[in-house]
Amino acid sequence: MKTKRFLRNFHRYLSIFVSIQLLLWTISGIYFAYNKIELVRGEQYRLPKDIEYRIFDRLGSSVIETIQDGKKSYKSYPEGDIIKPLTKEEALEITSRKTTLNPIEVTLVKELYPGSEYRGDLPVYKVETDTKDSINVYVGYMTGDIGSIRSDSWRIWDFLWSLHIMDYRERDNINNILLKILSVLALVTSISGITLFFVKR
């Protein structure tokens, strides 16, 4: 009897301890679900720039990137000649230079599907490597920048993240309606559970 009573009380107090933390997680989760991070960062107060420039090196040649009205253009610097996109061979060379990986195959990606492992600017080169973790390197079509590096470890993380935020399609929207509804229900469940702990039978 004493052992059973001890276990019952241990379970009861352990449950209230865990429930309080679950309540804190739920409250913070609701805040995240109902507030867009861009607005929290104050991005809505920034005025758009008329024009932006960036000078960078692409396989030994200087390139200037111009962003005007949201559109990007690329020319050699300082000559100002229009440059061509990278070739597949150059994408392989850049991957060899800028990573410790060994590239084996490259394809040009022109469109994305929902939940794609790459979610940046298009077009982009997808460079496959000879790794056990099935690592893909995404190289900028014009810039040669390494945009993303994706592995099986990242894909597992991304899948579990989609379950966590309940965005099973795009996998990156923490402000979706399903998460908002379930987070409120979780809050009600947590509060009712904690309340029942203090209610005497």
Tell whether the model's pLDDT for residue 194 goes beyond 90: no
pLDDT of residue 47: 85
- What pLDDT is stored for residue 109 in this prediction? 96
In the predicted structure, residue 27 carries a pLDDT above the cut 60: yes
Q: Please indicate, yes or no, whether residues 63 and 136 belong to a single structural domain of this protein.
A: no
Q: Give the residue-averaged pLDDT of 18-35.
A: 87
Considering the entire predicted model, what is its pTM? 0.82
**Structure confidence at residue 183 (pLDDT):** 86
- Residue after which a domain boundary falls, among 83, 113, 143: 83
Same domain? 111 vs 155: yes
Does residue 167 share a domain with residue 104? yes
Domain identity same for 164 and 186: no
Do 56 and 120 reside in the same domain of the chain? Answer: no
Same domain, yes or no, for 93 and 145?
yes
CATH number at residue 156: 3.10.450.40
Q: Which helix (H) or strand (E) holds 152?
A: helix 152-165
Q: Are 69 and 17 found together in one domain?
A: no
Predicted confidence (pLDDT) per residue in 82-104, tens digit:
999 999 999 999 999 999 999 99
Which residues 6+ apart lie within 8 Å of 48 measured at CB? none
Give the number of domains in the chain: 3
CA–CA distance, 174 with 165 (Å, rounded to integer)? 6
Q: 3-state DSSP helix/strand/coil percent for the chain, to nearest 5?
A: 45, 25, 35
Residue 11 confidence (pLDDT):
72
- pLDDT score of 179: 87
- Are 156 and 89 found together in one domain? yes
Domain that holds residue 67: 44-83
State the DSSP H helix or E strand holding residue 8, giving kind and residue range, or none if neither. helix 2-34
Residue 124's Cβ-count burial label (10 Å; 0-12, 13-18, 19+) is buried
Query: Could you tell me if 78 and 90 lie in one domain?
Result: no
pLDDT of residue 201: 57
Mean predicted confidence (pLDDT) in 130-152: 95
- On the question of pLDDT at 9 being above 70, the answer is yes
Q: How confident is the model at residue 200 (pLDDT cuts 50, 70, 90)?
A: low
Output the CA–CA distances (angstroms, integers) from residue 58 to 73, 86, 125, in the order listed. 15, 9, 15
pLDDT at position 142 is: 95
Is residue 1 very low, low, confident or very high in pLDDT (cuts 50, 70, 90)? low
User: Within a 13 Å sphere around the CA of 143, how many CA atoms are in the beta-carbon half?
Assistant: 19
Whether 94 and 168 share a structural domain: yes
* Residues 90, 74 within the same domain: no
The mean predicted confidence, pLDDT, of the chain is: 89
Residue 55, token pair as written in the block:
């000078």
Q: Name which of 94, 76, 89, 197 is nearest 145 in CA terms.
A: 94
Judge whether residue 31 has pLDDT over 80. Answer: yes
Residues 105 and 165 in one domain: yes
Arithmetic mean of pLDDT, 161-184: 88
